[in-house]
Structure 1
Amino acid sequence: MSSAPPTTASQALPRTVTRPGAVLTLVVTAYLMVGVDATVVNVALPDIRRTLDFSPTGLSWVLNAYTLAFGGLLLLGGRVGDIVGRRRTLTVGVLVFAAASLAGGLATDSALLLAARAVQGVGAALIAPSTLALITTHFTEGAARHRALAFYSSAAGIGASVGLVVGGALTDLASWRWALLINVPIGVAVALALPRVVRETPRHSGTFDAAGAVTGTAGMFFLVYAFIRVSDSGWSDTRALTCFTSAAALLAGFLRVESRARQPIAPLALFRDRNRAGAYAGILLLPAGNFGAFYFLTLYVQQVLGYSPFKAGFAFLPLTAGVFATVRCVPRLLARFGTKPVLVSGSVLLIASGGWLSRLGVGDGYATGLLGPMLLLGVGVGLSFLPLNATILAGIEPREAGAASGLLQTFQWLGGTLGLAVLVTVYGTATRHAHGSADAVLVHGAGRAFAVGTVIAAAALLVIATVITQGRGERREQPRTPRARHRT
């Protein structure tokens, strides 16, 4: 595949952005669509099942089809943005996402809805790395980028809970179809505004890493699918084990290809910096330990507390408010204390939230059982993800911004998928041996899952505390990433 014309100094983006607020609003809105749609149909699943006659096992694919396409194509989406331009890639991704949302909202049978959800995942894989890369290239490193990342991280942190609120409200007040159709006017508005507000990034010269794209995308596909199978059928499932084996072989081949590629889809030089490598590990482990909370808390508020979809969605507002309020303060905290103390504080709060939830009982009401840990979870997410994003993107060469962003999103999404698979398996094992009422069995299994999630969050804290070295008095500019050697 031929590449774009080489980047010249005159093509480089200016160091200042004339309308930073408008740029940031469009970028964050696009990414919020991606985060919201990861959970927007969760509380609507019973209505979807009745309308389109899904089987109990087939219903899970309303979520899995989106996850599989999104997680499998993220690396490719990041590299496409580097080569053809990130604004162009984001615009195409938003239009694909909106068109798939329209098809899903109008679906007349289960197959059409699943196909639409998969195409939504394709659009999301183009959107997510492009949004983060555009922040990197439009906002200078330091205070300006930290402020931009604060708003971006708030979208990343609250997207899942906003999805539950929006999905529950629309399902109760109108129809589950509007949980998808609402993306259409938003997507069209964003796509029309992007060329008018956001400058196109330079397209970089070189060859497209086709071998890396094929092995990386196929490896991620099999890995995500394997974890989905595990969450449905357990760790002894033959198909899941076959997919894990295939994923391991393909990803090993991917690493070999990337170490030799002239223009790799995932530059391995990104991991040479100790702080960045530690941040990538953190962005994998923290979602693995905590994103499963949305799944089990949704079960608890609807089955044990008896909340309607509308009320269940609004039950997550304290978490949303905690994230949003915290990220607005994080740039000042980073400037005063440095990255590591803020990260450690956030991780400790996430551990405390998981430990609290692991003690949840059948008789606990919302105020006594959920409000406190939800607030801790929101503040912990707000303190953790912005510093991790900033550490990964600090000192990145403009030509590598898309690849670095794609890797970040891939690690974060895989962490959530991996964690949910582990926690759902723990939940299933615990409930098979539990006795008592249906509510008691659910609470017992969810408590075990929250306990394991707390252990994973503790592992993230260990990595952050021992690998990441920055603290108070850290340098404002990190060393730039060494460029990968180009073979002739």
Structure 2
Amino acid sequence: MTGDAVSDQTREDTGGRTLGPGGGPGVRLAALAAGFVMATVDATVVNIAGARIRTLLPLSVSQLTWVIDGYVLTFASLLLLAGSLADRFGARRIYLQGMVVFVVASAACGLAPDGPVLITARLVQGAGAALFMPASLTLLTTSFADPAVRTRMVGLWTAIVSTFTALGPVIGGVLVSALGWRSIFLLNLPIGLAGALLTRRYIAAIPARRVRPPVLGNALGVLVLVALSFTLIEGPALGWSSPPVLFSGAAAVVLAVTLVTQQRRSRAPVVPLGLFLDARFTAANLVGFLINFGVMGGIYMLGLFLQNARGVPPFVAGLQMLPMMAGPLLGNLLFARYSHRWGVRRLLIAALALAGVASAALLGVGDSTPYWLLATAVGFANLGVGVGAPAVTFALMEAAGTDRANIAGSMLNANRQFGGLVGVAVTGIVLAHPDDWYRVARTSFLITAAAYGTAALLARRTLAPSRR
């Protein structure tokens, strides 16, 4: 066994036992896709269950926002550290430990007697997802020695993740309607346990590397996100001039300045700040942030809007969101087909402009707006996002260069999660007083259109034309 690839015929576990090729590539793919599928679905499934959870538990709007954002908070803030931990202690070990944490936290979510317990369990659940997400990609690329098989498995893995992202609201609607809201969390138990057992049996360990995780930088980053999240989520509930909100806002600023200062002096920074001297790199990260800001904020609003404004049950709401959520998958396919012909930059600008215009088309949404118009506009916006997401990834990698590609990719993924975190929090502000759901929807679509429009302008002004 080497550090670069693991033989498809013999593999050894950490105890030195040789593991046979049983199960084949499909079983190994299933083992490593299980965690990613759970983490992906759990990022969106709660949006459909939110209305039912808020009524039955019960929760305030700020508590419901914490249920969604708490997961994203720990996931986003620990993602970079988790990658370092996988290098330091071994990707398979961290993957399995993350799965255990995620499954235990999912059980706690499903059995939560009140809001604070559910929020706490969601925070832990996000930490578990952060542990196994980077490790799953590493294990996927090293578990198949044959380059052709590896390429096919990565393609299948991406298709599985994209499919379940689109199906998340439908899965949530079916489970909530048939088995209650707790089932969306308890379903993770058999999936997680099966994935962990398959990984233990069929996925080989990768030799650890003696690297020193940047703990201090990551800890400061976590504190910045916690303070910012508290300010945005609790501001509408406690009042923007209340002492706790003012203190958390000031703390977020002070901690952010401290983080930048510490990173400039650190010999092993979380992210080399020199990367941000390149305007293209900075712009690509801002575009990635704005894309997820619009997507996650929009999903949060739509799940509640369909059930509260249109009066449909969770199952119907999930079905109605399915064509809207199919846009990203179709957009990924369009990017792969046309990026060489039209150029990445041109495609990115057109996609973001489409997303902005489609969102702006719903600024007049009301009770007479037919479902097909709502679904078409949101679907086209998400189609633009589906084209824009891989385009901005390509633009960022081109700006970072091959020697800094790994850290640049990790930074973009963490930054996207941060965008989703802020998007949900800002939507929570809009939802703070939902006396008129159509006004809430119009405000949300205005914010989303502004985010996509700003991203399109950034791409046009800052990102250089692609050489491809």
Residue pairs, 1:326-405, within 5 angstroms = 326-367=331-372, 369-393=373-397, 401=406, 403-405=407-409
Q: CA RMSD in A?
A: 3.6
Once residues 158 and 230 of structure 2 are traced to their aligned partners in structure 1, the CA distance between those partners, rounded to angstroms, is: 27
Q: Could you tell me which residue of structure 2 aligns to residue 485 of structure 1?
A: none
Q: Decide whether aligned partners of structure 1 residues 237 and 468 sit closer, same or farther in structure 2, where only a CA change above 3 A counts.
A: farther
**1:49 & 1:458 partners in 2: Cα distance?**
33
Output the CA distance in 2 between the equivalents of 1:381 and 1:152.
Answer: 20
Aligned pair 1:407/2:411, yes or no?
Answer: yes
Percent identity between matched residues is 30
Which aligned pairs between 1:59-138 and structure 2 lie closer than 5 A? 59-131=64-136
Contact kept? 2:229, 2:425, Cα under 8 Å: no
**CA distance, structure 2, for counterparts of residue 200 and residue 272 of structure 1:** 38
Q: Tell me the amino acid that sits aligned with residue 468 of structure 1.
A: L
What is the CA deviation profile of residues 65-119 of structure 1, one whole-angstrom value per residue up to 9, with x for unaligned ones? Answer: 3233333333322332232233332222122111211222233444443332221
With over 3 angstroms needed to count, the CA separation of the structure-2 counterparts of 1:301 and 1:58, relative to structure 1, is: closer
| Per-residue deviation, residues 136-193 of structure 1 (Å, max 9, x unmatched) | 77899x9999988776666776666533221211111112111001111111222233
Q: Is the 8 A contact 1:149 1:389 kept in 2?
A: no
* 5+ long unaligned stretches in structure 2: 10-23
- Counterpart in 2 of 1:266? 271
Secondary structure in structure 1 of the residue aligned to 2:412: helix
In structure 1, the partner of 2:310 is 305
Distance 1:382 1:400 in 2: 22
Equivalence for 1:213: 218
CA distance in 1, matches of 2:231, 2:201: 42
- Return the alpha-carbon distance in structure 1 between the equivalents of residues 125 and 227 of structure 2: 19
Q: CA deviation at 1:459?
A: 1.0
Q: Letter of the aligned partner of 1:381 in structure 2? A: V
Q: Does 1:186 align with 2:181?
A: no
1:13 to 4, 18, 31: 4
1:276 paired with 2:281, answer yes
Q: Alpha-carbon deviation of 1:267?
A: 3.0
Q: String of CA shifts for 1:16-55, please: whole Å, max 9, x gaps.
A: 9998776665544422322221232333334434554546
1:363: how far off?
A: 0.8
Contact persistence 2:284–2:395 (CA under 8 A): yes
SS in structure 2 opposite 1:265?
Answer: coil
Deviations 1:287-340 (A, max 9, x none): 223322112222332122221011001111102322223323422323433321
2:31 and 2:199 in contact (8 A); partners too:
yes
Using a 3 Å threshold, how does the CA distance of structure 1 residues 57 and 212 change in structure 2: closer, same or farther?
A: closer
Output one character per residue of 1:190-241: Cα deviation in whole Å (capped at 9) or x when no partner.
2233355555555333433332232222222222332222464565454233
The reply to whether residue 169 of structure 1 matches residue 174 of structure 2 is yes
* Residues 405 and 93 of structure 1, relative CA distance in 2, 3 Å threshold: farther
Using the alignment, how far apart are the partners of 2:357 and 2:205 within structure 1?
A: 43
What is the TM-score of this pair, normalised by structure 2? 0.83
The answer to whether structure 1 residue 242 and structure 2 residue 247 are counterparts is: yes
In 1: Cα distance, 2:437 partner to 2:370 partner: 15
- Matched ranges for 1:458-477 at <5 A: 458-471=453-466, 473-474=467-468
CA distance in 1, matches of 2:250, 2:212: 30
2:44 paired with 1:44: no
Write the distance in 1 (CA, Å) between the matches of 2:403 and 2:93.
16
Runs of 5+ consecutive residues of structure 1 not aligned to the other structure: 1-9, 432-437, 475-488
- Aligned with residue 420 of structure 1, among 419, 424, 428: 424
Tell me, in whole angstroms, the C-alpha distance in 2 between the residues paired with 1:352 and 1:184: 41
The separation in 2 between residues aligned to 1:342 and 1:228, in whole angstroms, is: 35
| Residue number in structure 1 paired with 2:293 | 288
C-alpha distance in structure 1 between counterparts of 2:144 and 2:408, whole Å: 16
* Cα distance in 2, alignment partners of residues 150 and 305 from structure 1: 38
After superposing the two structures, state which structure 1 stretch, 318-327 or 158-167, moved more: 158-167
Structure 1 residues 387, 361: CA separation in 2 closer, same or farther (over 3 Å shift)? same
Q: What is the rounded CA distance, in whole Å, between the counterparts of 1:17 and 1:377 in structure 2?
A: 42
For each residue in 1:379-405, what CA deviation from the matched residue of structure 2 results, as whole angstroms up to 9, or x when unmatched? Answer: 11210112223444567778973x544
Q: 1:257 aligns with which of 257, 262, 265?
A: 262
- Structure 1 segment 443-462 matched on structure 2, within 5 A: 443-462=438-457
Instruction: Give, as a single letter, the amino acid of the residue that structure 1 aligns with 2:459.
Output: I
Looking at structure 1, the residues matched to 125 and 169 of structure 2 have their Cα atoms a distance apart, in angstroms, of 18
Amino acid at match of 1:180: F
